[in-house]
Chains A and B, each alone.
Chain A
């Protein structure tokens, strides 16, 4: 599905390069459920953002679904991203001014779905996540777990092949965390969605098929479960 070759990301500070990622190579197959672990500052989020094409590496080769991402123009990258990737964040990142329904609907708007199509797709999604009753509420009126459900629903609405999740349970209590992780596992198994998550929790990492440990911008270990 995707492959990173000798990817580095650094910032120039004075005469020195400060590396966030240092010569990372990584392959992810379709249908995998990868967990990225590592201490704070080891480059987990940066790696995730580069995979998701939100961030650009300073060096290296990046292939995604058969495309050489490092050679693509901004617009083509955006198109690729739109087609394949859904993001889930630790802080949910819902738009406060929009209702649950509208938050989930937004990606469809940007992909130019017609109004009636959107209605049907969003209704399905609300049904599937059993949040029909909350569709007219604003994010501030929901619990953290509910907000993250909405966040995942939004990420899934365009049927992406790849879900990137940056500490999706970081702000949740353990019961809510388990629900979210089980949802991910189910998506991976039943819908064959590739998932890459960043996590601090060994237990959460255990839901996946592979654990990658990052340390100081390098892959320390990659363990298949």
Chain B
């Protein structure tokens, strides 16, 4: 019986090749999307789960509440909280602190900057990290021990056995030898903690720090199985209030910091998708779970659209199968038997599409990985769960696509079917609404795509308020200020190098008092006198720093317009800013026009510029000529390496750095473009199929009309207008939804485009045009056909 069903199903698929192809292509693309997204979500859910202690590991996080009730959530703590809590609360069995750093590593003549992690020596008894060589015994015990990942070991030692060999690492400004005690296997891709170089926390400068209110590292606890979290948090509050009493008092009296600190335990498994307490300071960044939902939603939409094609084409085609259904019933086929047959056909089709989908997934996985910043593969995610969910997706799809047609077709009355009295009663509202649904989704995606492109263009072409062209930015830190002067002089000897400047590197926030003791928050930027001219940032009031004025580096500052506005200064020149905690006052000598050095996802902060008086420099900037760029770059690199012997040279162009800030947007742009392309493609092949059938059904009518003198245009209009009405309705429905969605999305950006009606008009026009072209093919074919042929065949 099954074999007979298979045979008919395959012959039917074969006889209606065009529709089978449409269905299979649509379904396989849609299923591939679903499978990819399932892989993605599987990976997200599996984060950190491989740890044997996963359910008992918690991270210590902090809620900081200001006296005015503003709550600040922090994922990091100080150095002291781990050991103190463990000592006084027995349910906390172990603590591990993990601190990240970016250090210079020397091996022979090679010098590199590396991301490293410092961790307490019991790291390997709390977290699961298999070793490739070496042993867990005394693994991080010595102050000079180091654990490498297999990649890093290979980078420095090639094929040699690295155990017992040493690397020189610059910790606290001094190169010290570290001996390799073990090599770990590569950390799983779904691990928040990715080991490259693991150093004992003892070797870090902050190891003995006793400050509670200085937050800079991740503290993990392994807690006793079954311990009550609420009670633990209450105990921690008591311990904190006892132990940190004097520090809390000092902070309030000396710095005016009266914030309340509350410690919370966050499960390890919650870190990866937490937006409240994200993974920071050396952990693989958290991903907003909304990404999973959005991607899942898109995949589901695409699948629905493909299923709609199946339903619509099957219904439209069923006219042809009326006779077969009638016969089957007359020779004794029961309704259930027919339902099984039709469902079987939809499952065969779905199964073929499913197999093709798997192949498709394998093919596009590399592209998808680069888009989603992941390294997904079947190999490590293959699990019973994945297989079950894939199977479920397939079963659901087959049912969703086949159920309604099966029910409808099996319900035909055999007498009416065989005497050709079977009519499609009603106006086929279902088919029509399904087409509308498809094109609503397609229009929605297209409007979204255009808006996202437009916003992206807006962000990347925004006038930043400074010139980032031809500026080489050299990332470094702790650059000696005397050496910097030599570097600058050397570089300026080259006629292709126009200017050289530096800042302190990184972002520094501060508070100070202005006017009559009012507090103001701002960013501090330490620069030299060439900073503003190099970036061509205009000084709107007063003057720039000057090398000649000795007082400038001692007590002069500049502020940006935002700062001046926030301070409420009409004439800022000569105003005083009081850095009360270091007992120093500075005088404003100039105001700079607001400029966006950071990305546009934030408003311009109030900023205060100082001429760097004593400390070392951070980033260096070199403005070069448009011509001879390569020669200039070589010259800069040569000079740098000659002067800064053990510093790695890392450079980039400032304008490229700026463009890179919108990587997330660029990826969304690609994802939404792909979704839009797929939805419009699948919707259109569906529409194409429907138009084919409709033209076939109306062949005779068209023949009669032509004989009666209808023109070709008239017939084309007649045939396409019905479909276009549906598509038009879809665009009308999609517009407000898309407007709302895009409006909400744009709200996230402080600098954004306003939604224009042309976006909608363009999208609607585009969808209508595509739909028209799709339908047109058949309309034209039918309209220019010789009516004699179609009438004679009747």
Mark A residues whose CB is within 8 Å of B: 45, 49, 54-55, 78, 81-82, 87, 89, 91, 93-98, 102, 105-107, 109-112, 115, 154-155, 158
B704 nearest CB across to chain A (Å): 25
Q: Pull 14 A–B residue pairs with CB atoms less than 8 Å apart, ordered by A.
A: A54-B414, A82-B332, A87-B331, A93-B326, A93-B418, A97-B8, A97-B15, A106-B4, A106-B331, A109-B1, A110-B337, A111-B332, A112-B1, A155-B331
User: In the bound complex, do residue A87 and residue B330 qualify as a contact, i.e. CB atoms below 8 Å apart?
Assistant: yes
User: In the bound complex, do residue B334 and residue A78 qualify as a contact, i.e. CB atoms below 8 Å apart?
Assistant: yes
Of A89, A110, A115, the residue contacting B332 (CB under 8 A) is A110
Contact A49 B327, CB 8 Å, known A97-B12, A110-B332, A110-B334? no
B349 nearest CB across to chain A (Å): 16
Of A55, A91, A97, A110, the residue contacting B331 (CB under 8 A) is A110
* A residues in contact with B12, CB < 8 Å: 97
User: In the bound complex, do residue B333 and residue A95 qualify as a contact, i.e. CB atoms below 8 Å apart?
Assistant: no
Of B1, B328, B415, the residue contacting A95 (CB under 8 A) is B328
Indicate if B380 sits at the interface (CB-CB under 8 A).
no
B196 nearest CB across to chain A (Å): 63
B618 nearest CB across to chain A (Å): 77
Contact A54 B332, CB 8 Å, known A45-B419, A93-B323, A112-B1? no
Of B11, B15, B333, B415, the residue contacting A49 (CB under 8 A) is B415
Q: How would you classify the secondary structure of chain B's contact residues: helix, strand, loop or mixed?
A: helix
A39 nearest CB across to chain B (Å): 18
A84 nearest CB across to chain B (Å): 11
Contact A54 B4, CB 8 Å, known A93-B418, A95-B324, A97-B12? no
User: In the bound complex, do residue A98 and residue B331 qualify as a contact, i.e. CB atoms below 8 Å apart?
Assistant: no
* A residues in contact with B328, CB < 8 Å: 95, 106, 110
User: In the bound complex, do residue B327 and residue A102 qualify as a contact, i.e. CB atoms below 8 Å apart?
Assistant: no
Task: Please provide the chain B residues from 275 to 332 with a CB less than 8 Å away from any CB of chain A in the complex.
Answer: 323-324, 326-328, 330-332
**CA A70 – CA B634 in complex, angstroms?**
100
**CA A98 – CA B323 in complex, angstroms?**
13
* B residues in contact with A115, CB < 8 Å: 3
* A residues in contact with B8, CB < 8 Å: 95, 97-98
B344 nearest CB across to chain A (Å): 13
Indicate if B154 sits at the interface (CB-CB under 8 A).
no
Indicate if B543 sits at the interface (CB-CB under 8 A).
no
A77 nearest CB across to chain B (Å): 11
User: In the bound complex, do residue B333 and residue A54 qualify as a contact, i.e. CB atoms below 8 Å apart?
Assistant: no
B7 nearest CB across to chain A (Å): 7
User: Closest residue to B323 on the A side, CB-wise?
Assistant: A93
* A residues in contact with B324, CB < 8 Å: 95-97
User: In the bound complex, do residue B334 and residue A107 qualify as a contact, i.e. CB atoms below 8 Å apart?
Assistant: no
**CA A95 – CA B7 in complex, angstroms?**
13
**CA A115 – CA B2 in complex, angstroms?**
11
Most A-side CB within 10 Å, residue of B323, B324, B330: B330
User: In the bound complex, do residue A54 and residue B331 qualify as a contact, i.e. CB atoms below 8 Å apart?
Assistant: no
* B residues in contact with A155, CB < 8 Å: 331
User: In the bound complex, do residue A89 and residue B333 qualify as a contact, i.e. CB atoms below 8 Å apart?
Assistant: no
**CA A102 – CA B327 in complex, angstroms?**
13
User: In the bound complex, do residue B418 and residue A158 qualify as a contact, i.e. CB atoms below 8 Å apart?
Assistant: no
B16 nearest CB across to chain A (Å): 10
Beyond A96-B324, A97-B12, A155-B331, 5 additional pairs, beta carbon < 8 A: A91-B418, A93-B323, A98-B7, A110-B331, A154-B331
**CA A78 – CA B338 in complex, angstroms?**
14
User: In the bound complex, do residue A107 and residue B331 qualify as a contact, i.e. CB atoms below 8 Å apart?
Assistant: yes
User: Closest residue to B325 on the A side, CB-wise?
Assistant: A95
User: Closest residue to A154 on the B side, CB-wise?
Assistant: B331
**CA A196 – CA B332 in complex, angstroms?**
19
A200 nearest CB across to chain B (Å): 17
Contact A97 B11, CB 8 Å, known A54-B414, A55-B415? yes
User: Closest residue to B327 on the A side, CB-wise?
Assistant: A93
* A residues in contact with B418, CB < 8 Å: 89, 91, 93
**CA A158 – CA B291 in complex, angstroms?**
61
Of B3, B15, B332, the residue contacting A81 (CB under 8 A) is B332
* B residues in contact with A55, CB < 8 Å: 415
